[in-house]
Structure 1
Amino acid sequence: MRERAEEASILHIDVDAFFVSVELLDKPELRGRPAVVAHETGRSVVTSATYEARALGIHSAMPLARAQRLCPGLLVLAPHMEKYAAASRVIMDIFRDITPQVEPLSIDEAFLDVSGARRLFGSPTKIAQIVRQRVHQATGLTCSVGGGASKFVAKVASQRAKPNGVLVVHPTRTLEFLHPLPVKALWGVGTVTNENLRRLGIHTIGELAQIPLHALQSALGEVSAQHLHDLARGHDARSVQSTREEKSISSELTFEYDVADPEVIRQKLLQLSLRVAARLRHLGVAARTVGIKIRWHDFRTVTRSRTLVQPTSVGQQIYAETVAAFEGLSARGQHIRLVGVRAENLLGAEAAEIALWDPYEQWRGVEAVMDDTARRFGRHTVTTASLLRDTGRMVDPRTIEGPGTGAEH
């Protein structure tokens, strides 16, 4: 728990336009121009956009084709995930040099509880400036920092500080800061909830704070109403969690062209299963439930899951289950846009060692060798032979692995 809730001791730090900013580090001549990170293919989506591009209405997750219509001269930069991972490690290490109380939210943002760092570094505002300076010196990147007495206030403040700014809200001014903001700034207010609130005549956080809770519950339900009512009044008791238990691991890909060949789908399920399994082993956990996600050409999406008798972190076993789930969909002849593999109900890896007879024991050893080789020489230096055929191309560079992989800011 926070030591002094009367201080703005929670910081939310978010690197500005992370992916595209990393790409521009060695292309200074392109700075100041509308640019995005994306694969330049028919179905690619924007992964990251410069603020010059955002001013034209371009944002992450937008189809690249639409972004290029908005800006015919748009610069399209190919993604390099290894660069982003390396920069993220440097940035997170800087955060942890300030305080051990760091809760990463994604590759480019985190909460910091700096209540214990004030004696060494000074006020939260001073700490925010120190962090920004160190990040820029070490990486050339800029970040925006918000501060407050709670995680919610810090997160909202960092968004208002963008780009490349600091906004620390003193606890005594929390309501003064929050109440003029639109209700969509609240965590949990999406399109549907926002429309429901508009029907009640509620447009700002301040108006939401004034409405009786029972009236809000009638419109939104008990749980959602209580959550939003608390936030609107500046109440958020959640503390920074320096360690977070992952509840699921998933990976998915989008095809450049719709695919109907089941052999291609099976090959991609193998690729994704091996990737998810490697992540499970890296975290020292095993999955009791595995499943698939299929998105058809018309954007209908289905998911199927299968619970295992024994938890596993073996890619070949995950693959066998996902293929069985896929074949149970009666998908023959249907065109598929996206496939995904997910592992859930995670347990300690020792749970996978209970079985007296393990039909995947040999594969367990093979994949352990693959892990070792990947650590020593890189992730793509060894794979199964069946993945060497070029049967489809992944165009979305973002691989979802675990919770907290959100859109970039």
Structure 2
Amino acid sequence: MLAALQTGVKGGKWHSLIDKVSRPETLGLGWIQVERNAGAAGVDRMSVERFAQGRDCYLAELAQALRDGSYRPQPVRRVYIPKGKGQRPLGIPAVKDRVVQAALKLVIEPIFEHEFEPRSYGFRQGLGCKDALREVDQYLKAGYCWVVDADMQSYFDTIPHASLLAKVGNRIADGGVLGLVQRFLKQDIMEDMKRWTPMSGSPQGAVISPLLANIYLHELDVEMREAGLVMVRYADDSVVLCRSREEAESALARMRAWVSANGLTLHPDKTHVGDCRVEGQGFEFLGYRFEAGQRWVRKKSLMSLRDKIRIKTKRNEGNSIGYVIAALNPTLKGWYGYFKHAHRFTFSSIDGFVRRRLRAILRRQKHRPGQGHCQRDHKQWPNAFFADLGLFTMHEAHILARQSR
């Protein structure tokens, strides 16, 4: 059933979809995705583990509620997670609602995926950040060095509900599905003892939100392509690559007009046009900074990694240094796997920071004050000492990668 949806007539509208969402097999597939992603409990305090214990009963209840129209999602629990120097709100739906959202996404995503532009990379199966960065690299090398760095202000929180529902309705005519989407958009938000209904936006953390975000910006993707412009987008993070200042200024004006007409806002301080070949006129995209012919890791990404390293290498760490290294390596390998195309000096700097943190632990374990910076520490615990314990070093990984090309 789900595979058949992908062969839908382009430009057509879809009817009779709510029965696909409520099917036990669809809800079962949705549950598998929710279980795989785990995550915290919602306002009802039902954990993924508890849902698993009564899975068949809960899925049957959801199927019946969807069929008879009595299904109503519970409020979203709001929490805050660190973002730079501030915090970002995150909505945590109840597990039952995550299952329904996953089932809904399974049914309607193929309809829109059939239409999405090839330069839209965010939250799409088989595509990711590395693909978007690869395309940006290709156009920069081809001379598209005038870049519009566009930042949408609080995008997920400001998507107009009526406009979003209209865009979904351009492809879907099933009132049950449209009503379900609307109910998810209008889910009350609970924070501490406060409860309110959002007037705009789609909560980050909801299963359906990434798809809805892509649906809303799809028309912008189409407009830019039809204007002959190269826009690479990952969710609300996008860059337009141009061959001249005039083309870039025109692209920015076109984008401003579309964004304004669709109830959104470009961040006044984070949106600009520049020649990325010139120092000081670079742009940031998906964790990297492109400037003066180089690709650097942006400062925020470096700071975030250092914070993670600090957490895993506290000086009062009671475990053996081998245990600390084993716990730290996955973080280092994962970060390197994404940023391996950055400037080589970045890796040496991080490796040095890691070893200093480890030496500080060893000093503490020997009841010696200090932070692992002195020459004596380096002689007592040289780089080879940590290599023998299996410490992953980015500089060595970078050298091996270059040699294998």
Larger Rg: 2
- TM-score, normalization by structure 2: 0.29
Kindly indicate which of the two structures has a greater share of residues assigned to helix. Answer: 2
- TM-score, normalization by structure 1: 0.29
Higher relative contact order (CA 8 A, sep 6+): 1
Kindly indicate which of the two structures has a greater share of residues assigned to strand. Answer: 1
